[in-house]
Amino acid sequence: MRLAQIFVVAVTAALLATPADARPARPADAPAYSTTVPGTVLVNADRRTGESLSGPWHYSVDPYKDGMADFHGKPLDVTHGRGSDVNVEAAMKADPDVFFEYDLARAPVGPVPSAWIAYSPELRYYNGLMWYQKSFDTALIKSGQRVFLRFAAADYKTMVYLNGHRVGEHEGGFTPFSFDVTRLLREKNNNLVVAVDSTRTPDSVPTQVTDWETYGGLIRDVTLVATPETYVDDDFIRLTTDGLIKADVALDGPAKAGQVVEVSVPALKLSLKGTTDADGHVSLSTRAPKDLKRWSPDTPTLYEVSVKAGADVLTDRIGFRTIEVKGTQIILNGEPIFLRGICLHEEEFGPNPSRRITPEASRALLSEIKTGLHGNYVRLSHYPHSEITTRMADEMGLLVWSEVPVYWAVKFDNPDTLKVAQSMMAENILRDRNRASVIIWSVANETPISDARNSFLTALAREAKALDGTRLVSAALLTGKKTVDGHIDITIDDPLIPELDVMAVNTYNGWYGNDKIADVPATVWHSSFNKPLILSEFGAETLYGVRDPVREARFTEDYQAKYYKNTLAMADRIPFLAGLSPWILKDFRSPRRQNIWQQGWNRKGVVSENGERKMAFFVLSDYYAKMAAKK
């Protein structure tokens, strides 16, 4: 049955794709990185010369993964199949009798970036394999220039083919990955085929059941990124708590060793110079100038920074600030700070979101937190959000909690699952460790305690520390509770806490479980750890506009508002509390939520999916406004 595929002859990709041997920039005092760090970082790729491949793409569903295995299940060489470099239309013109089973270049068209669930009604609940195809010309082929094909994110497993060659693959739905395609590109009519499989499995991260919609597909920008042959693959530039500006730079390319590197901040008349070692690495540092304006939510000062090395010049906008913990306080730029926040899923406002995050969509969401709620902090849950959002938080002045989707019952005893989680963590940190707004790396959410879980998360927490010793590490934990003298009594005692800088607990008393909302304010919290606590989640559901002022029944705005009042009253009495991020800013899609009020949405938002503010929104914004005024 597969004869047709014989007419395609392909050269194995391995010969052509340039193997990446860069290693991320590693501070001299940092422990060795695990092997899960990506080969190519391509830091600040969004600020490099390039060509966008976003826009209309062909797409073709493949529910039986027919493009991957033949009718007896024997794995197929995709470069002889859907990944081949055949223009079927031209072939048919040449030979009307030619046989073919599919032609992606004439398949339906949908926008990228976007999840495919918005492409057509029948794809609303489709999870599985999808083939994408795009033909394009490029002007980036120049001698002495390399070209990378970069995906800002694709959910979940991605396989890439260019001009009939297998380029590579990636696992993980929310972090960037790139391939050097310099030797595969041609000027005209490039044939790019991308297979994206959104299937969640028991071993994937996250696993099959989550309380959010799986937005499968090419959900973020696809670009061609050009660099000189030897280029700045990674840099890590920051202010340290001992008053130094440090810069670690890693070059990749034939001339990476013995290269002079200059990191400069013109506005501070600052220039740091050094020469790379055999690995293409250099670590630079200098005392921070007295007139440095530190970045903070109230003063989100960003400096133009450039890194020059040989023919390469890479710029960025970086804020300089320090973050640390002292006892039960979180300290920003040497001063205690209370995190006035809320949680957020990556889902734009509107009745039919497709995880299409543009600067406008991101600004709309973050403004509702900054100006609407008088917040200074956002928990980006439960996976790395777009770099558009973390850059927006830098610009607007919002502190960020960034998380990898180790969510609920991940397969903690599977070493491959750990590897996937570690590489997600590494990709996330290497993408955003120059973002001043990001202060906390979270390794997990609501995971069941076990030995396997503890060692899995300990490995992740240590990986985060190795990759970035300048930020705080945390995880959203669960606690037990008991009734003591008639009040709810909670002790925070998760065995993971010694590995964390900040404790964070999700608490839903008064919503889940049988505690009465009236009992919440008197709740007593205990912790033997001299560490700050964030209430990383609390919330109650209501559909916008559903009211019951008399009985304050559940699923009404009145109940939700009262729930907030009572929980905030409880928060006021926790002596080691350093921050709040209620669940959640906006109602969001969740296939688990199907009752009469929910209809496929989790309704714990303080605003509706269309941005309508519920009563609880004003309870929280008043509370934060008073707190901000007291400062």
Q: Smallest distance, Å, CB 141 to ligand GCU?
A: 45
Site for ligand GCU contains 604 (CB under 6 A): yes
Scan for tokens 């000062």, then name that residue.
Answer: 301
* Residue bearing tokens 């999840």: 115
Those residues whose C-beta lies under 8 Å from the C-beta of residue 481, and which sit 6 or more positions away, are 488, 489, 490, 509
Distance (Å, rounded) from C-alpha 503 to C-alpha 499? 10
Site track for ligand GCU across 85-124, x = CB under 6 A: ----------------------------------------
Q: How far is Cα 493 from Cα 244, in angstroms, rounded to an integer?
A: 36
Taking residues 349 to 388 in sequence order and writing x for each that binds ligand GCU by CB under 6 A, - otherwise, the string is: ---------------------------------x------
Q: Which of 455, 416, 447, 443 is nearest to 500 (CA)?
A: 443
Dist. CA 376–CA 378, nearest whole Å: 7
Residue 580 Cα distances to 11, 565, 568, angstroms = 56, 14, 9
Residue 507 vs 566, nearer CB to ligand GCU: 507
> What is the rounded CA–CA span in Å between residue 263 and residue 309?
9
Output the six-digit token pair for 550: 């008399």
For the bound state, the minimum distance from the C-beta of residue 541 to ligand GCU, rounded and expressed in Å, comes to 7
Give the nearer residue to ligand GCU in terms of CB position, either 261 or 343: 343
The H or E element that residue 4 is part of is none
| Residue closer to ligand GCU (CB basis): 196 or 607 | 607
Shortest approach of ligand GCU to residue 489 CB, angstroms? 21
Residue 542 within binding range of ligand GCU, rule CB under 6 A? no
Cβ at position 508, least distance to ligand GCU in Å: 7
Residue 513 CB, nearest approach to ligand GCU (Å): 12
CA 51 to chain centre: 23
For residue 571, what are the contacts with CB-CB under 8 A and spacing of at least 6?
535, 577, 580
489 binds ligand GCU (CB under 6 A): no
Which ranges of 25-145 does DSSP label H, i.e. alpha helix? 88-94
Cis peptide before 113 (omega within 30 of 0): yes
Residue keyed to tokens 């985060």? 464
Q: By C-beta, is 200 or 604 nearer to ligand GCU?
A: 604
Out of 389, 506, 523, 567, which residue is the one contacting ligand GCU (CB under 6 A)?
506
Helix count and strand count (H, E) for the chain:
7, 33
Give least dist CB 345 to ligand GCU, A.
Answer: 8
- Helices 415-432, 387-396: crossing angle, 10 deg rounding: 40
Of 177 and 407, nearer to ligand GCU (C-beta) is 407
- Nearest approach, Cβ of 256 to ligand GCU (angstroms)? 43
Write out the binding residues for ligand GCU, residues 5-64 only, by CB under 6 A.
none
Q: How far is the CB of 506 from ligand GCU (least distance, A)?
A: 5
Q: Among 537, 553, 541, 536, which residue's Cα sits nearest to residue 602?
A: 541
User: What is the nearest approach in angstroms of ligand GCU to the Cβ of residue 77?
Assistant: 40
Q: Is 266 exposed, middle or buried (0-12, 13-18, 19+ CB in 10 A)?
A: exposed
- Residue 151 or 583: the one with the smaller Cβ distance to ligand GCU is 583
For the bound state, the minimum distance from the C-beta of residue 401 to ligand GCU, rounded and expressed in Å, comes to 13
Q: CB-wise, 85 or 609, nearer to ligand GCU?
A: 609
Tell me whether residue 153 or residue 475 sits nearer to ligand GCU (CB atom): 475
Q: What angle do CA 20, 21, 25 make, to 5 degrees?
A: 115
CB closer to ligand GCU, 42 vs 540: 540
Nearer residue to ligand GCU within complex by CB, 316 or 346: 346
CB of 517 to ligand GCU, least distance (A): 16
Q: Binding to ligand GCU (CB under 6 A): which residues in 266-305? A: none
What radius of gyration, in Å, describes the C-alpha atoms of the chain?
Answer: 25
Q: For residue 583, state whether it binds ligand GCU (rule: CB under 6 A).
A: yes
> Judged by CB under 6 A, does residue 538 bind ligand GCU?
no
101, β-bridge pairs: none
Nearer to ligand GCU, 455 or 598 (CB): 598
Contacts of 339 (CB under 8 A, 6+ apart): 330, 376, 377, 399, 534, 578, 579, 580, 581
- Residue 445 binds to ligand GCU (criterion: CB under 6 A): yes
Contacts of residue 357, defined as CB under 8 A and 6 or more positions apart, other chains included, come to 113, 220, 346, 348, 385, 386, 388, 389
446 part of the interface to ligand GCU, by CB under 6 A:
yes
φ, ψ (nearest 5 deg) of residue 286: -155, 160
HSE, side-chain direction, 13 A CA sphere, residue 136: 21
- Minimum distance, C-beta of residue 597 to ligand GCU, in the bound complex (Å): 13
Question: What is the total count of residues that contact ligand GCU (CB under 6 A)?
Answer: 9
Minimum CB distance to ligand GCU, residue 588 (Å): 8
CB of 204 to ligand GCU, least distance (A): 17
Distance in Å, CB of 282 to ligand GCU, minimum: 42
Q: Out of 211, 229, 262, 515, which residue is the one contacting ligand GCU (CB under 6 A)?
A: 211
- Other Cβ atoms closer than 10 A to 9: 10
Q: Which is nearer to ligand GCU, 212 or 525 (CB)?
A: 212
In angstroms, what is the minimal distance from the CB of 131 to ligand GCU?
31
Position closest to ligand GCU via CB = 211
* CB-based contact 527:491 (threshold 8 Å): yes
Nearest to 226 by CA among 134, 137, 138, 358: 138
Q: Which is nearer to ligand GCU, 160 or 534 (CB)?
A: 534
Show the site string, 401-440: x = touches ligand GCU by CB under 6 A, - = not. ----------------------------------------
Q: Which of 204, 560, 602, 608 binds ligand GCU (CB under 6 A)?
A: 602
**With respect to ligand GCU, which residue has the nearer C-beta, 427 or 446?**
446
Specify the 3-state DSSP secondary structure of 407. Answer: strand
Question: Quick one: 26 or 604, whose CB is closer to ligand GCU?
Answer: 604
- Smaller CB separation from ligand GCU, 159 or 424: 424
**Site residues for ligand GCU per CB under 6 A:** 211, 382, 445-446, 506, 537, 583, 602, 604
